Amino acid sequence: MSPVSIPVIMDCDPGHDDAIALVLAHARPEIEIRGVCTTAGNQTIEKTTLNARKIMSFLGNDVPVARGCAKPLFRELITAASVHGESGLDGPALPEPQWPESNLSAYELMVKVLEKSDRPVTMVPTGALTNLALLLLTRPDLKAKIGRISLMGGAAVGGNWTPAAEFNILVDPEAAQIVFSSGLPITMSGLDVTHKAIVTAEDIESFRSIGKRTAVMVAELLDFFKKFHEEYFAGFGGSPLHDPCAVAWLAAPEIFISRKARVDVECAGTYTTGSTVVSFARGVSHGGAEGRIPPDEANVDVLFDVDREAFVALLRNALEVLD
């Protein structure tokens, strides 16, 4: 472990892109996974928890995997079986996990890791923000232990589950608003950047050709993920790797472009619930919108662009170093 590594808690709902985010976080020397929490979203909590355990076992990483909330704070759960299949991780035949689930809940694991850590921990949520919102509401003292939140979710423009909302935020918009208004530094990998973090069919073949077992497994995950995107989002020319962006930004922030903004979540719209409403700080201009808010009201670094080639290279390198 490199002495400057960033301790992180992954909070995810694997999910193909969540699984690849776990692979990337496990592979990168700058990142030290202290715990994996699960959340319901892409599939039910039973399935996402099993999937997270399978992936961590596959990677040979015995870090605790702890089960999170089974449903959003105030709403019924919606899932994304059309994207991720019935198991939530359809595609590769993954062996059963070698280690049991943690006897702590996701909430308890977060508390334990944060209390024990002598360095600020980065939270990396790549699913709905339910677990983190509960933690921030009930243990505000632990905010001091959180250095930053690097999350996948939202969009300054557009959505993927509704025209105005991205899936992770839509699943639990109230939780998202609690997180965004927490006062903690946040990096938001929303659709603005993740729709540019595309892996093409060619990239998938280049991963497979590495030949190692993790590389082949990731290629098989991407084979399945690709089917959905070819059917519904053919214009992308590949699959957007949403969740790995939140990890890649930690490992290589220099390949991303971000803008400072105030972000709040619409929780009461007829057509817009789950929309992340992005106001830029003065002096910032993006996409025809001019910054209007005082810079000290900005609460989020919103990612807008990524060097796609460098992003794919980062993944490829990760797959080359793993078994």
Partner 1 sequence: MKRKIIIDCDPGIDDALAIFMALASKKLEVLGITTVAGNVGIDTVTRNALSLVSIAGFQIPVCRGAAGPFLIKRETGGARIHGENGVGDVLLPQPSFDEDSRSAADFINEMAGKYEGELELVVIGPLTNIAAALGRYPDLSKKIKGLIMMGGAAGFGNVTPAAEFNIYADPHAAAAVFQAGIPIDMYGLDVTNRALITGDEIAALRATGKAIPVICCDMMKTYADFYESVGFSGLALHDPFALACAVDETLVRFKSCHVDIETQGTLTRGKTVVDILGVTGKKPNVRVALELDRERFIQLLSNLLCSYE
Residue 208 structure tokens: 């497979």
Rounded CA separation 154/156 (Å): 7
Q: Within its chain, how far is the Cα of 231 from the centroid?
A: 23
List the one residue from 81, 105, 161, 216 that touches partner 1 (CB under 8 A).
161
Reduced to 3 states, what is the DSSP secondary structure of residue 75? coil
List the one residue from 78, 111, 157, 210 that touches partner 1 (CB under 8 A).
157
- Say if CB 280 and CB 293 are below 8 A apart: yes
Half-sphere exposure for 126 (CA within 13 Å, toward CB): 30
Site for partner 1 in 262-301 (CB under 8 A): 264-273, 275, 277-279, 285-292
**Is residue 81 part of the contact set for partner 1 (CB under 8 A)?**
no
**Is residue 159 part of the contact set for partner 1 (CB under 8 A)?**
yes
Residue 195 appears among annotated catalytic residues: no
Site for partner 1 in 226-245 (CB under 8 A): 232-233
DSSP output for 178-202: HHHTS-S-EEEE-HHHHTTSEE-HH
List the one residue from 30, 44, 87, 158 that touches partner 1 (CB under 8 A).
158
Single out the segment in contact with partner 1 by CB under 8 A; choices: 68-76, 104-112, 261-269, 308-316.
261-269
Relative to beta strand 121-125, strand 285-286 is: unpaired
**Is residue 156 part of the contact set for partner 1 (CB under 8 A)?**
yes
C-beta closer to partner 1: residue 42 or 214: 42
- Say if CB 134 and CB 172 are below 8 A apart: no
Peptide bond into 60 cis (omega under 30): no
| Least distance to partner 1, CB of residue 152, Å | 18
Could you say which of 16, 84, 229, 242 is catalytic?
242
Compute how many residues bind partner 1; rule: CB under 8 A: 33
**Is residue 164 part of the contact set for partner 1 (CB under 8 A)?**
yes
Rounded CA separation 104/66 (Å): 6
Question: What residues line the site for partner 1 (CB under 8 A)?
Answer: 156-164, 232-233, 264-273, 275, 277-279, 285-292
